[in-house]
Amino acid sequence: MRKIEIEQATPDKLEALGVSGWSPWECEPSRFDWEYSADERAYVKTGRVLVHTADGAVEIKAGDLVLFPKGLQCSWEVIEPIRKVYRFE
């Protein structure tokens, strides 16, 4: 199973990916289970979450560019209100 990939976003990378046209999503502090039906690339604008997988917890925070692989089963723990934009690949 592929793992979550995280990189620090740069303005050039965000522009090249067309992030300004991606769909918005936000969530208040909470916990929920999730499974990805497709690869999802996301850019976190604000907030912080822990994503718990079979391999352990991954912290994702503002400024991160993230790839969630298709088939990933996880549990989200939203620590600070999160605002992100995303697209399916």
Question: Rounded to two decimals, what is the model's pTM?
Answer: 0.94
41: left (phi over 0), alpha (psi -120 to 50) or beta: beta
Going residue by residue through the chain (89 aa), what tens digit of pLDDT does each one get?
Answer: 689 999 999 999 999 999 999 999 999 999 999 999 999 999 999 999 999 999 999 999 999 999 999 999 999 999 999 999 999 99
Host domain of residue 11 = 5-88
CATH number at residue 66: 2.60.120.10
User: What are the residues whose beta carbons fall under 8 Å from the beta carbon of 32, sequence distance 6 or more?
Assistant: 75, 76
Which residue, 22, 25, 26, is CA-closest to 88? 22
Alpha carbons 73 and 54: distance in angstroms, whole number? 8
Task: Give the count of domains, the chain.
Answer: 1
